Amino acid sequence: MATLYPSLEDMKGHQVLQAQAAAGVRTPATTVVTEKPKLTSGTEPPVLYPNLAELENYMGLALSSEEIQKNLHSEDSTVAPLQALTPVGPSPGQLVAPLSGNSAGLRRAEIKPGVREIHLCKDERGKTGLQLKNVDQGIFVQLVKANSPAALVGLRFGDQVLQIDGKNCAGWSSDKAQRALKKANPEKIVMVVRDRPFQRTVTVHKDSTGHIGIVVKKGKIVSLAKDSSAARNGLLTHHCICEVNGQNVIGMKDKQLTEVLAGAGNVVTLTIIPTVIYEHMVKRLSSGLVKSSMDHSIPDL
Amino acid sequence: MSLYPSLEDLKVDKVIQAQTAFSSNPSNPAILSEASAPIPSDGGLYPRLYPELSQYMGLSLNEEEVQRNLAVAAAQPQGQLVTRPSTNYMVAPVTGNDIGIRRAEIKQGIREAILCKDQDGRIGLRLKSVDNGIFVQLVQANSPASLAGLRFGDQILQINGENCAGWSSDKAHKVLKQASAERISMIIRDRPFERIITMHKDSTGHVGFIFKNGKITSIVKDSSAARNGLLTEHNICEINGQNVIGLKDSQVADILATAGNVVTITVMPSSIYDYIIKRMATSIMKSLMDHSIPEV
């Protein structure tokens, strides 16, 4: 089965490492950044990139061997350190991520497959801080208020609620869903949730100038920069950015969003949703609420 | 936190956990303690199932089958594990190691595929530009594209090393035409606009949704589809990983009927689906599309 990678840069980095390993060149673990490539023709087998230092400017990324090796080690937990370069091959279905490897943002943003059960309590005012909406005969989380029980339990914008206290939510109106929450036991509400079905994550890398290559207006991606990480990884226009590294950014001003992106580290995992679906979900949600009370905290892992 | 492929798996696992807790510590009443769960006399790893489970939620749960699903992953402490590309594992006492899920599963990440052209110089692929990305609109049956495992809705990120961002459909086809016949390298993101939902048939063999022209129009109350949150206004792209786009409704119903008890369907919101197939002749869709069952 084909090897999977979270981003294109991971794929290219891994292929280079495999090519090197196959050619029998072992990149030393430290202080390789300043080495010049040894191109002794004739004695060494010809390889594409004799030394990862050459890759430093590859695709505008600042790649260092230590970082890549570190990420490879943590992914290939079954392989001894220096052997990580030999093409052992990941077990089928596992993601190989020499660059994105240790990104906490990737793990925070990850959309979990399947369904899960959560227990919610109400706060002292009897509220859950949750607003629900009917979309296509399903109930979805439209708003999670900051510092609310819903935020604490890890609910996010776009989560689909399948059951509340054992009753299927299929076909409920938004009002019915809110009423069910209101009437529920304040000690414990049992909900079965499907993780953000309409959203997906795309992992991109910043280039040497710190840009990922998108132009954002009012939280929507309006254009992609040519030859940027965003273009390479297939980010699309007409999509809204819901989260950056798992942190909800809906309702933030563009300036704030840019700050979050700037502070995000080199590996950025964006959670995006097609704009048509997003508009459908926030229909009749007061924009005041969106801007002022939405939960923007960084989720725990 | 445990993840489950379908709601039925979640409920059954809860029952099993309650029973395990009860049998290991009889002083603590389990949640479903009305019927006493007999302690297995054979000293098996998992206690005998709750007696009424066989009728639970209209499913006919065979005790041996569930035990088999759980026992397969004997090394792990909990239930049947389905490995995902991420580090999340799912517990699936009812779904088990269903091959339909594995065929349908949307891989989180990007992969490379190498194609060659056939003797007519074709790949059997039609592409469409959506939101400044290039997507697969059509995979012809018995073509190099179908051999490479490409599917409707796959996003092509690069062709022979060139980013496809911002290309028009015409440009994408031109690049394919001019590419070398021996080897075309494509980098693919797996069906970004689609998602899978796993459901179980009830005793009458129904999953619980009504569809017309491949689009889900209504959900049956208290069915597996309702429980698992299947939505209307979505088009069915695959059933257990097999592409059903372009098939007649009766053919799709046949596939559903013969599908086995666990059905994993791949759906795409209708607005996006309509856009992708825009201006593709319906005759082509019906006659040329690849409907083979993918390998896993």
- Clarify whether residues A184 and A133 are in a common domain: yes
Does position B56 have pLDDT exceeding 60, yes or no?
A: no
CATH number for the segment(s) B102-189: 2.30.42.10
CA separation for the pair A257, B82 (Å, rounded): 36
CATH number, domain at A181?
Answer: 2.30.42.10
d(C-alpha B239, C-alpha B293), whole Å:
10
Locus of tokens 């693919």: B188
pLDDT of A107-166, one tens digit each?
888 888 888 899 999 998 989 999 999 999 999 999 999 999 999 999 999 999 999 998
Residue B102, pLDDT above cutoff 90: no
Q: What ranges do the domains of chain B cover?
A: 102-189, 195-288
> pTM above 0.90?
no
Q: pLDDT tens-digit profile of A242-271?
A: 999 999 999 899 999 999 999 998 899 999
Domain boundary at A194, A227, A242, which?
Answer: A194
Residues A174 and A160 reside in one and the same domain: yes
Q: Is residue A7 part of a domain?
A: no
Looking at residue B155, its pLDDT comes to: 95
Q: Which residue of B has its CA nearest to A213?
A: B165
Q: What's the whole-number mean pLDDT along residues B17-34?
A: 67
Segment A52-82, tens digit of pLDDT = 444 444 455 544 554 555 555 444 433 333 3
What number does CATH give the domain B195-288? 2.30.42.10
Last residue of a domain, one of A194, A222, A248: A194
- Residue A118's domain spans which residues? 112-194
B69 band by pLDDT with thresholds 50, 70 and 90? low
**Residue A116 forms contact with B (CB below 8 Å):** yes
Q: Please report which confidence band the pLDDT of residue A4 belongs to, taking 50, 70 and 90 as the band edges.
A: confident
Q: How far apart are CA B219 and CA B232, in angstroms?
A: 7
- A72 to chain B, any CB pair closer than 8 A? The answer is no
- HSE value, Cβ hemisphere, 13 Å, CA-based, for B187: 26
Closest CA to B67 of B42, B83, B43, B46: B46
| Residues of B with Cβ-Cβ distance to A227 under 8 angstroms | 163
Of A116, A113, A107, A146, residue with least CA distance to A129: A146
Q: Distance between CA A130 and CA A12 in Å, rounded?
A: 42
**Which of residues A194, A215, A235 is at a domain's end?**
A194
- Inside any domain, residue A43: no
Minimal C-alpha gap between A78 and chain B (Å)? 14
Is the pLDDT confidence value at B277 over 70?
Answer: yes
Please state the ipTM of this predicted complex: 0.77
- Which tokens is B35 given? 């019927």
Lowest mean pLDDT among A28-32, A97-101, A165-169, A178-182: A28-32
**Which of B3, B112, B230 is facing A112, going by the closest CB pair?**
B3
Answer whether A234 sits within 8 Å of B164, measured CB to CB. yes
A63 in a structural domain: no
Residue from the list B7, B189, B230 with its beta carbon closest to the beta carbon of A192: B7
Where is pLDDT greater, at B84 or B217? B217
Which token pair is A74?
A: 């943590």
| pLDDT tens column, B170-221 | 999 999 999 998 999 999 999 999 999 999 999 999 999 999 999 999 999 9
Q: How many domains does chain A have?
A: 2
Confidence of residue B269 (pLDDT cuts 50, 70, 90): very high
pLDDT at B235: 96
**Reported confidence tier of residue B109, pLDDT bands at 50, 70, 90:** confident
Q: Best mutation site among A168, A193, A222 for testing chain B: the one with the most B CBs within 10 Å?
A: A168
Establish if A72 belongs to a structural domain. no
**What pLDDT is attached to residue B242?**
93
Q: For residues A229 and B129, what is the distance between their CA atoms, to the nearest angstrom?
A: 19
Task: Kindly state the DSSP code that residue B86 receives in the 8-state scheme.
Answer: S
pLDDT of residue B22 exceeding 90: no
Res. A20 pLDDT band, cuts 50 70 90: confident
Please give the residue that has the higher pLDDT: either B138 or B59: B138
Domains B102-189 and B195-288 share a fold: yes
- Note whether A217 and A239 are same-domain residues: yes
Q: Which residues of B touch A116 (CB under 8 A)?
A: 1-4, 10
* Three-class HEC string of A114-153: CEEEEEECCCCCCCCCEEEEEECCEEEEEEEECCCHHHHH
The rounded distance, in Å, linking the Cα atoms of A166 and A174 is 18
Strands, E, within chain B: which ranges?
81-83, 89-91, 110-115, 125-130, 133-139, 155-159, 162-163, 184-189, 195-200, 209-212, 215-219, 234-239, 242-243, 262-269
pLDDT, position B146: 92
**Could you tell me which residue, B165 or A43, shows the higher pLDDT?**
B165
Q: Is B159 on the interface with A (CB under 8 A)?
A: no
